[in-house]
Structure 1
Amino acid sequence: MNKKREQLPYQLIALDVDGTLLRDDHSLSEANISTIREAANRGAEIVLCTGRGTDSALPVLEELGLEGTLITHNGAVIVDSRNRELLAEEGFEPAVIEPLIRHARTNGIHFDVCTAFELWVEALNDEVSAMYEKYLVNPRQVADVLAADDRLVKLTVFGTIAQMDQVEKDWQALLPDAISLIRSGDFFVDVMRRGVSKGAALRKLSAVKGISLERVMAIGNYYNDVAMLEEAGLGIAVANSPDGVKAAADQVTASNNDDGVHWAIQQYILQKA
């Protein structure tokens, strides 16, 4: 095993992207870039672990000047960025989510579905298009997402906080046994195959790489990060996290707007190496 990596307290650093690594304006700070690169150069494995799709996460990894493994779609997909090789996928057939799609259509709630590398929508307007642009997503518009001939990895609905609160309540009675939902942001609810989570994907990836979970540090900010924070040997919530996420973490660092990732890596890895 890499000798430098052995000298670090944590060998693998799992980073959520939006609300954690990126500032609220979706930019990367120079402090975060510099510290993450230093950790990588000293032997740490950097893994972006995000609710984003693969093509939306890749530009962030490239801006960091890194390559390697990505966990995307809240853990439903694991990809090698160097060749876009799909290493793992947890999907479901489109017909499984038909009751949820019907509810979203009836109530005028925007939704999209994802395969490992694509995002499909039935409708677009200026507000929704601006949201996709912000997250570096190029959606493909189709007449009926349920007519897809590919397995899906995620269904997402987008709307106001009140709308998403209501969706969470309404969909509990509509969810088939094969899938589950999670609140991935104030304005988003995600549906994936039951058992899929960032934590489960991190556990699988750590086993493949031969890295004990005790040597994994994870940093996140929202409820879809909780499983990842709990699986890692050291789970850190940024200061802008809801109280429930902070309670699931071992430590709390500065906010995403105040270089929380930088401070956490410096404090718990680089200064202790």
Structure 2
Amino acid sequence: MNYRLIALDVDGTLLNDHHELTDQTIETIQEVHDQGCHIVLCTGRAPASTLPILEQLGLEGTMITHNGAVTVHADERGQSLVNEFSFEISEIESMLAYARREGIHFDVCTAFNMYIERVGEYERMMYQKFLINPKLVTSVSELGVPIVKFTLFAQPDVLDRVQLEWEDQKLYGNLRMIRSGDLFIDVMNPTANKGNALKALAATLEIEAPEIMAIGNYYNDLEMMSFAGLGIAVENSPNDVKEAADAVTSSNNNEGVHEAIRKYCL
């Protein structure tokens, strides 16, 4: 086997569109893990909603969460923070004002918690789907603690407009704005991405980039796919992502992760 570490995006890659892991995918991941390969989930999810996926795989270890802003180690003793890229809530006040004015749903995250100011049934269903239990507060501006991610949740046409306006006005300042899904925009520390987090983790494990395979499906996966010796896009990825990848595997609904591991690792 040529690869010592496999980095896996979760939603749209590892899980199918029903947010499920298939038995065959679980068996393949366990097999490659038993042969000595590190399995690292690299996701936009928080640690609390990533851990159940890791447990379903029958594994423990390090998770890269919040799109690279937070790295956490999970074992039988619980979860411990390995690294985080944070910023101050004051840096997003102009974007908070915009979202409140336009009625666009948002949340802000620390390493282990998520905070919201309001929630409707549509947003509640989204959080349930991603196994998230956010904390309701009067104003996130009053949290007084560094945060790792600010996320907008809305329909694609709304976020398309937001993206254009915020880029035109540079409303995110020195922070980094990324489209992490059709329905999500994330604003984070400019050094926070899955690629940088994966690079730091690999260094601690003494694993070189050519020994890493990364599989993803969206623009927030590009840095980790570029860093890895083999970057693979699932078939359901946007064309830009597939063109940037070294290879393309089947879609998340057709067990693309299982197929890629079988082809390149087993």
**Shared fold, TM over 0.5:** yes
CA-CA distance at 1:150 after TM superposition = 1.8
Aligned to 1:261: 257
CA contact (8 A) 2:166 2:172 kept: no
Task: Give the distance between the partners of 1:94 and 1:222, measured in 2 at CA.
Answer: 27
Task: Give the distance between the partners of 1:59 and 1:171, measured in 2 at CA.
Answer: 35
Which of structure 1's runs of 4+ aligned residues deviate more than 4 A? none
The range that moved more, 83-92 or 168-177, is: 168-177
Aligned to 2:129: 134
TM-score (norm 2): 0.97
Q: Does the residue aligned with 1:32 lie in a helix, a strand or coil?
A: helix
CA contact (8 A) 1:14 1:218 kept: yes
Aligned to 1:120: 115
Task: Give the distance between the partners of 1:149 and 1:122, measured in 2 at CA.
Answer: 15
CA-CA distance at 1:47 after TM superposition = 0.2
Aligned to 1:58: 51
Q: How does 1:13-52 map to 2 (within 5 A)?
A: 13-52=6-45
CA-CA distance at 1:124 after TM superposition = 0.5
Q: Does the residue aligned with 2:200 lie in a helix, a strand or coil?
A: helix
CA RMSD in angstroms, aligned pairs only: 0.8
Which residue type is aligned with residue 37 of structure 1?
A: Q
Aligned to 1:97: 92
Give structure 1 stretches of 5+ with no counterpart.
1-7
Give structure 2 stretches of 5+ with no counterpart.
none
Task: Give the distance between the partners of 1:168 and 1:210, measured in 2 at CA.
Answer: 38
Q: How does 1:155-166 map to 2 (within 5 A)?
A: 155-166=150-161
CA-CA distance at 1:176 after TM superposition = 4.3
CA-CA distance at 1:133 after TM superposition = 0.1
Task: Give the distance between the partners of 2:4 and 2:250, measured in 1 at CA.
Answer: 22
TM-score (norm 1): 0.95
Aligned to 1:4: none
Task: Give the distance between the partners of 2:129 and 2:223, measured in 1 at CA.
Answer: 26
CA contact (8 A) 2:233 2:241 kept: yes
Deviations 1:203-251 (A, max 9, x none): 1111111000110000000000011110100000000000000011100
Q: How many residues align?
A: 263
Percent of aligned pairs sharing the same letter? 51
Aligned to 1:68: 61
Instruction: Tell me, yes or no, if structure 1 residue 178 matches structure 2 residue 184.
Output: no
Which residue type is aligned with residue 112 of structure 1?
A: D
